[in-house]
Structure 1
Amino acid sequence: MQAAQTTVDPAEVAKFEAMAAEWWDPKGKFKPLHMLNPCRLDYITRQIAGEYDRDLTAQKPFKGLRLLDIGCGGGLLSEPMARLGATVVGADAAEGNLPVARIHAEQSGLEIDYRHTTAEALAAAGEQFDVVLNMEVVEHVADPQAYLTACQQLLKPGGLHICSTINRNSKSFAVAIVGAEFIMRWLPKGTHEWHKFITPDELFALIRGAGLDPVDRKGFVFNPISWQWSLSDRDLSVNYVTASLKRG
């Protein structure tokens, strides 16, 4: 059988492997994700609950759902999804992230299937999921259209795809690169490349091109006074998230 093609960018993988040991340090190189995580989880859980008619006040509301966290890193999203009852596969092209993720899950008493693999390889193997989380990954791949097509193939009919990324404009350059990498030093310099950022309209077009139906998009907005993130219906100028469905 022919090996699955990959959209992995080796240079991007190397960046995150170099930071792997710091995934669970809320004051380390992944501080921005730790700060953003409550807002991300609010959006993700509401979308899943709405699509699958689940009660978020139940003990294990996502029980029976199979979920893929593609580009899982150290497991910042995989772990809460497992706690909510989902059967979770966490996949990452950066092999160095996975020992950190596995150890932390074990220490937390969680069973998560972490794999060093790609979306394309999982699709070629015929894997199927109710939900695919694709958070802050698409701006790091070599071919966003091929990558999103692989994510679509991984979904069961009626499945939910949640994808977040960074808009491409002068504000995102100032905030996500100059501010986050050079002024606040939240991230190592070179973590992001502005030309790889994707506008919301471009992402919706890519999602449709992959065979998915976009149904929602929201902005993640940081308030420097309260030092917190919130969801916005209107402000998608920097960080934003989308939800789409695989019809059929």
Structure 2
Amino acid sequence: MTELLFRDDAYQTAAECQIIGHTPEGGLIVDRSIFYATGGGQPGDSGVLDWGGGRMPIATALKVEGGVALVPAEPLPMPPIGAPAQQLIDWGRRHRHMRIHTALHLLSVVIPLPVTGGQIAAEKGRLDFDMPEPPGDVAALEEALNTLIERDLAVSEEWITDAELEANPGLVKTMSVHPPMGQGKVRLVRISDGPTLIDLQPCGGTHVRRTGEIGRIEIGKIEKKGRQNRRVSISLV
């Protein structure tokens, strides 16, 4: 299986790897990856793969049987299995994903309702909530969100067992997507102010180390999606 370097250090932008397989669709399976693989509403990273005189732009990364596959942005000669290579991610795009992702966790604090879906992009993101009635004061929600961001809260991770998560179902805010289980442990992302817990929920994505990195966030339109669902969009200012 691919070693998930992005999980150990979301700020790592370059790493050596080895090609350990090719997918039928033309992807390159690597033994270790700094490229985040698409999942949980977060897009896969883009960047470049260098090897033995060759260079290939990478459009995204996907989870496949055997690990993580890097998807070339254009059809080019592929490095052979066993070839050593160097990975370089598009850091600017990754960091914007991290800022939006952490901001969405804080949005779920400001709007403490069950989450029915979500999506992350490089400049914006959204959460869908089980929200029968629209919020009365969007400006107040936006100010509350930015107040949390400006507190420069610490963002960290911890791990619990599958059994511990099953015993604490309230940790899971999403109604439609459940955290991956079956490997014995689940990663939690914690946002805190010293001993004061602000948010704690299962998540496999990449995040900033402190909320101050997010910068100011703007809440956009709130759309009705179905009988009780409402979509709240945010964007980087």
Task: Identify the structure with the greater helix proportion.
Answer: 1
TM-score normalised by the shorter chain: which range applies? under 0.3
TM-score after normalising by structure 2: 0.23
Q: For the pair shown, which has the larger CA radius of gyration, 1 or 2?
A: 2
Q: Which structure has greater strand proportion?
A: 2
